[in-house]
Structure 1
Amino acid sequence: MSRKRRKPDDINPNSWMDTYADTITLLLTFFILLYSFSTTDNEKLKLIAAALKGQITGIPMKLEDVPDIEDEEKEQGIGEKSPYQILLEDIQEIIDKNGLTDTVKIREEDAGVVLQLSESILFDLGKADLKADSTPVLEVISGLIPAIENEIMVQGHTDNIPISSGTYKSNWELSTSRAVNVVKYFIETKGFDPTRFSATGYGEYRPLVDNATEENRAINRRVDILIVQQKEIVKE
């Protein structure tokens, strides 16, 4: 007995939609995997998600319906500034307002925020006594200290030229004495808690740049005031 041929009318005209839906689902999975391994532009992600969802359901989708990744990141605290980034910006603003941009350099290290003061601001060459005109700079820095509870480390540095002064036998001693005198200013003149401060001299052994030129040596002759990153920043 011969088999009957299926009439064209018996074929479901929408059967191709099953294959189409499967293909689109696979594409959606592919794009999700791509996003999980990379950072995608927010606007592009919205367009992709909207387009894919619209194709699968057959219903146009508004971009507003796509979750805003930036909002989600804010809710999770992603991209927020750390207390030390805020502190860094606040200090820079104060330094700029007082016209000390060329006098006090600010940098961020793993240990905390560093205020870098060149030798010429604080001391005469080869000496450790604070100059009279160093007071305005130290006054500005003193104004920052009450707003924080962190330990403050004052670090003295020199260039690699052996000292010829009779008062100090080495750059170790000169750099240490300079750091001590800065700490004494904060404690004795400004009345800050001495348990928060420490003084260290590194001599020529922690240069910022090589000592090949006089300009570079002047950069290395400095005092660093390190606000140690260990306690929560307390703002008034």
Structure 2
Amino acid sequence: MTERDANSRLEDDGASYMMSVSDIMSGLLFVFVITLMAFVLNFQQAQREAQAEQDSLREEQESLRALVSAYSGIEDLRERMLRELERALAAQGIQVTVEAEVGVLRLDERAIEFESGRAELSGQAGKNAAVIAEVLVDVIPCYTELDRDAAAARECSAETLGALEAVFIEGHTDNQPMMRQGVDQNWELSANRAIRAYREFAEVSPSLTELVNRDKQRIFSVAGYGYSRPLPGRDYDVPTADPQNRRIDLRFIMAPPTNDPEVIEALRGRGAE
């Protein structure tokens, strides 16, 4: 092989090598471009998903704020009703205790006093029960479901109508045992006290028994707790005839704001979690 042929061959090999490197670089550049494009597309998709999640969270927060606002309004209505009852009873000389945060109007021994071991309402207790019934029938109807004429006759506010779901007349006893055939009868006694109070209210103001909620269900019912729910600071370790624990509580349950579409959606979302 001549020197010229050798040089020519070296030039051909060099050209081939440069072409191979160029091909490799082109291939790497192509892979880089494809990878970059995939990264950009994935990043954009992640951004869209993050934005969608933020929008969803924002909507949920708005719904929950609406829910809190709705329930706050209900709590305000309940306290308004309880305070109205408290003032009306005080004007009649009957002192009661209001626990607005739990919706309770407490009729302790200042309002309705029970003799130990008995459920009868006699003497001043019976007279006070009659006054309480008259106050209840004067205030409560505007918080129940009334027809248009009845609501207009009472000049009820539209915001209060249908707000009340139920009223529990709750009977309580002190912690003195009342044994009969080996069974403590305090549960029965507390229930009988609640029933006696309900019947007294119904006898004085029969229309109370006809009051209904949004679902056309009557609002009044009774419950007996025995001595299982003593007043704060009056939970004794030994049998004690405490008249303050022999009481009637009226517990007012307000209707949830289920007619609000935002609230319904919020509740559904919370339930799906």
Superposition TM-score, scaled by structure 1 size: 0.53
Whether 1:133 and 2:127 are equivalent positions in the alignment is yes
Higher helix share: 2
**Hey, what does 1:204 align to over in structure 2?**
227
**Hey, what does 1:144 align to over in structure 2?**
139
Match of 1:113 among 97, 103, 109: 103
Q: For residues 21-170 of structure 1, what are the structure 2 equivalents within 5 Å?
A: 82-99=73-90, 103-109=95-101, 113-119=103-109, 121-125=111-115, 126-131=117-122, 132-134=126-128, 135-149=130-144, 150-163=165-178, 170=185
**Hey, what does 2:248 align to over in structure 1?**
223
Distance 1:103 1:216 in 2: 21
1:122 offset after TM fit, Å?
2.3
Q: Which moved more, 1:118-127 or 1:170-179?
A: 118-127
Contact map agreement 2:82 2:105 (CA 8 A) in 1: no
Deviations 1:44-71 (A, max 9, x none): xxxxxxxxxxxxxxxxxxxxxxxxxxxx
Contact map agreement 1:211 1:217 (CA 8 A) in 2: no
Contact map agreement 2:172 2:224 (CA 8 A) in 1: yes
Deviations 1:63-84 (A, max 9, x none): xxxxxxxxxxxxx899795233
Distance 1:189 1:93 in 2: 20
Q: For residues 180-199 of structure 1, what are the structure 2 equivalents within 5 Å?
A: 180-191=195-206, 192-193=209-210, 195-199=218-222
> Which amino acid letter does the alignment assign opposite residue 135 of structure 2?
V
Contact map agreement 1:156 1:200 (CA 8 A) in 2: yes
> Which amino acid letter does the alignment assign opposite residue 200 of structure 2?
Y
Contact map agreement 2:195 2:222 (CA 8 A) in 1: yes
Larger Rg: 2
3-state SS of 2:226 partner:
coil
Contact map agreement 1:187 1:193 (CA 8 A) in 2: no
Structure 2 gap segments, 5+ residues each: 1-65, 145-164, 212-217, 258-273
Percent of pairs identical after alignment? 27
> Which amino acid letter does the alignment assign opposite residue 231 of structure 2?
L
Contact map agreement 2:166 2:219 (CA 8 A) in 1: yes
Larger RCO: Structure 1 or Structure 2 (Cα < 8 Å, ≥ 6 residues apart)? 2
Q: Which moved more, 1:212-221 or 1:85-94?
A: 212-221
Number of residue equivalences: 153
Structure 1 gap segments, 5+ residues each: 1-75
Distance 1:159 1:187, change over 3 A: same
